[in-house]
A and B are shown apart, each in its own frame.
Chain A
């Protein structure tokens, strides 16, 4: 009887926590790892350049104003272009950056498969040809004499 009650309570707690996380303000550290300094081309958390510091200050101001992570990213893209995103968008030309590694892995897998097939075919032992009956009889006789 207590087990179902505990399960329901645990489920409710999970829902509450998920809801809290959903509505939680974005963390500056997370955004700084997802955005690139346009001058030094490293993520903001790795950069101490003047423009990176200005962008970090902007992110904190927007978080304090209640903007979501997506709103902040959109605002920075509007100023600095899509190159400011550390991860390219999953659409348009940016989609290539996501698809090309998958294509490369696929092509690599096919190549490896073909190579393995080729090597295994090379290493297969040649089929044994049947011995001439006369020769086979002679070999048997020689063996019998050797063992005898």
Chain B
């Protein structure tokens, strides 16, 4: 009797360890951790993870897949991030120059206070749509490791190019122009 109970207990312990290992593997596989950027920079066009988030620039929600048919630059940022301040005027410029062609910059403000984000948008004159992701739930799917990061998506929602860090140098700006052109093709 005791032997059978021991076997059951051992089986339960082995099962628990297997479950924890399974969770670890699932976490590693589901968190693409930069794979998206690497794949895009290898010339592949991986599908961008979809999301639905509250808008900060106005009321309501915005779903990324609703922008299908347009080229989109998904820009992850936060108001406390200094490099984000450098690149925001250039993103605003890219949006105003290309919006008539079907290009949208979509800001995703993450790990931030809503009020701080709105203050940042006012201060830096951001007019493109911005959504709020306080807990940072979208970051794992894209493999965002820091702010800012920008993913340029084509009209089918596939990643054409990924910028890890601020789009600040002239070379970055040339690269963004090229990525937007590719995304609009």
Contact = CB atoms under 8 A, between A and B. Distances in A.
Interface in B117-146: 134-137
A117 interface: yes
A38 B111 contact: yes
B62 to A, nearest CB: 19
Contacts of B23: none
A38 B80 CA distance: 13
A54 B80 contact: yes
A14 to B, nearest CB: 41
A11 B6 CA distance: 54
A121 B5 CA distance: 15
Interface string B23-54: 00000000000000000000000000000000
A125 to B, nearest CB: 19
A15 to B, nearest CB: 40
Given A38-B136, A80-B134, A80-B135, A114 B5 contact: yes
Interface residues of B, number: 19
What band does the interface of chain A fall in when counting residues whose beta carbon is under 8 Å from B? 20 to 34
Given A51-B78, A80-B134, A117-B2, A107 B111 contact: no
A110 B9 contact: yes
A83 B140 CA distance: 14
B111 A80 contact: yes
Given A54-B80, A83-B135, A107-B12, A114 B116 contact: no
Given A38-B135, A81-B134, A107 B81 contact: no
Interface of B: 2-3, 5-6, 9, 12-13, 78, 80-81, 111-114, 116, 134-137
